[in-house]
Structure 1
């Protein structure tokens, strides 16, 4: 008996990773060259911004993760009246602060200094030219801008074993006196309303990928011959229509009241999108079986990528906050 073995690809192969990083960076730079900016949140065209992110997310989740961070950095700089990025640059935003992981900023002048310590969950450090990073100075959080200079930084991706989002590692960055400058006063990164507005942009990326996954079911002929398949598609239509309406409502609210954070509304939107996306992945799989996940690379990769990307949501923790806010009377809802 002759056995034909499929070619195997080790996701830990460094040569493959480097090729993926180069391709991803080239795609991001090409997109930015053709679309240097997106509408800023809270300036009247928030929905257009989210539609653009959704469209990219429907094509490539790794690419939209890179681009969403770049355009988020653009919005942050605008919010804090900081100098804009230059043409040809690719920016990242690294603001995760897990317990026990500390990055210190030591001032050398009134507005500049050195960064030393560790920064976790630095997505795309191998392809970004610049970054906004949160750090600690005098016991307070500060936001810094820095050139990604690997002479003063070590990037460790050895723990990144994800199959989903494998093309964009989120590793740990160790900084050794990297030069940086302050952006805004201490605490400004979290205090600005745009912090929450930007969080909804992530959900727009999820929406685009979710509709692409749902589209695989929508075009399948079994919808006409199998009532269970049709029922799954109908349930998906209900869920996606509901979350799309909430996107439109939330965007209008942000544009009408841009100086408000709208935290409750945005947490609710993200939580709903998380549940809808998870449900769509499950329903498409139940309707079509293992076939598309095993034989259609783009669909299988999109499902795997989205399952990882969705975990930027805070799941039941967000739902807990929503419930507590309602009980305490902090917000009013459920009105037509």
Structure 2
């Protein structure tokens, strides 16, 4: 990998130009910018390669400018890491990749004899991503992965199902596969059982964190330009949480690099919980401190505020929601006052 400072500079220059575009221009230019970022950054260090923190720093840097772009970029990098970890390095090419692992939908995927049939929900970048790693459940209910080349006439894309106001820039869609050619990757449950599953989950949290830091920067700059005790109080309270979160990112990165064959699931879960807590505190605190003006007049600020809570909710694994629902049913939880 090239020098970290030079890569950060290249990424900053590309993103700084992008930030000047209108919302419509950003929507049109994001696929091209994604390719430019992939080319500028090159192959990122793999998780657990003694440069895990540097990898997360790049995700956070991009997220501070545009969360939709960060999600697409992180998904591309995650796909390459999965192929690397599962021993399919030879499948990696110059195409733009994604990982589509959301379950559910009206017709869950079925894969048989190298052909795919069904619907995959929540596929980000579906109209411009070229290849994807998609998950499905086999006949025994075990999770499997396959590669799909998206340049096939048997694939149709439905953009009307994504109703979230936030993360519109990902152009997330429901994708329908009708006898589509795919290539199986790994053995049953390899995708979930590998240590890198949790290392990658921490990388997603780095995107959340990068957006929160950018919002904090807005508050800090406002305090410098027009200081008042109310804004300074919120800045002090939030800075403490954000600094704690950054230190825990550093700790978990060092842990992963020192013991690369372990998943460190417990520590990653704690990291994600801490990152979410600090991000939600930033959303509330910065919003209160700065008032209505940046929500209404600053495009980047308004986008981050709308995108960040959606990205956090979207990122949580479905099985966690199922576990919560099952516990509520068992305990007969009531929400009545």
Q: Normalised by the size of structure 2, how large is the TM-score? A: 0.83
Secondary structure of the equivalent of 2:135?
Answer: strand
User: Aligned residue for 1:237?
Assistant: 239
Aligned counterparts of 1:85 and 1:25: Cα–Cα separation in 2: 22
* Cα 1:80–1:18 shift into 2, 3 Å: farther
Q: Give the 5 Å matches for 1:291-302.
A: 291-302=293-304
Q: Distance in 2 between matches of 1:320 and 1:269?
A: 21
Superposed CA deviations along residues 162-183 of structure 1, whole A, max 9, x for unmatched, are 2211111222111001111111
Tell me which residue corresponds to 1:81: 87
- Contact map agreement 1:33 1:88 (CA 8 A) in 2: no
What per-residue deviation string (whole Å, max 9, x for no partner) do you get for residues 281-317 of structure 1? Answer: 11111111111111111111111111211113549x9
> Counterpart in 1 of 2:134?
133
- Residue in 1 aligned with 2:251? 249
Q: What's the counterpart of residue 9 of structure 1?
A: none
**Do the aligned partners of residues 262 and 61 (structure 1) sit closer, same or farther apart at CA in structure 2, a change above 3 Å counting?**
same
Is 2:65–2:300's contact at 8 Å kept on the other side of the alignment? no
* Paired position in structure 2 for 1:62: 68
Equivalent in the alignment of 1:201: 203
CA distance in 1, matches of 2:25, 2:230: 42
Give the CA deviation at 1:198: 0.2
* Cα distance change, pair 99–90 in 1 and its aligned pair in 2 (3 A): closer
Q: How many residues get paired?
A: 301
CA RMSD of aligned residues (A): 2.5
Q: 1:290 is matched with which residue?
A: 292
Asked if 2 retains the 8 angstrom alpha-carbon contact of 1:61 and 1:165, the reply is yes
- Segments of 4+ in structure 1 off by > 6 A? 16-19, 317-321
Please give the secondary structure, in 2, of the residue aligned with 1:220.
helix
- Aligned position for 1:51: 57
Shift of 1:147: 0.4
Could you tell me how far apart the structure 2 residues matched to 1:49 and 1:218 are? 26
> 1:334 matched to which residue of 2?
none
Residues 273 and 258 of structure 1, relative CA distance in 2, 3 Å threshold: same
**Which residue is equivalent to 2:41?**
35
Structure 1 counterpart of 2:326: none
Cα distance, 1:237–1:19 mapped onto 2, change above 3 Å: closer
In structure 2, do the counterparts of structure 1 residues 84 and 55 end up closer, same or farther at CA, with 3 Å as the change threshold?
farther
Q: Distance in 2 between matches of 1:251 and 1:29?
A: 27
Q: How far is the alpha carbon of 1:233 from its aligned partner?
A: 0.1
Distance across 2 between alignment mates of 1:230 and 1:156: 46
Does the 8 A contact of 2:223 with 2:232 survive in 1? no
Structure 1 distance, partners of 2:297, 2:27, is 25
Q: Residue in 2 aligned with 1:72?
A: 78
TM superposition shift of 1:88: 3.4
Render the CA deviation track for 1:27-75: whole Å, top value 9, x for unaligned: 0111111222111001111111101111111111111111000000010
Contact 2:62 2:210 in 1 (8 A): yes
Rounded to whole Å, the distance in 1 between the matches of 2:311 and 2:205 is 10
Q: Which has the larger radius of gyration?
A: 1
Distance apart, 1:137 and its partner CA: 3.0
Please, which runs of 5 or more residues in structure 2 have no aligned partner? Answer: 1-21, 324-337
CA drift of 1:212 comes to 0.4
Matches of 2:30 and 2:312 in 1, distance apart? 20
Residue 331 of structure 2: aligned partner: none
1:17/1:167 contact within 8 Å kept: no
Question: Residue 216 of structure 2 corresponds to which residue in structure 1?
Answer: 214
- Paired position in structure 1 for 2:262: 260
Residues of 2 paired with 1:17 and 1:225: CA distance? 30
- Distance in 1, Cα, partners of 2:71 & 2:160: 20
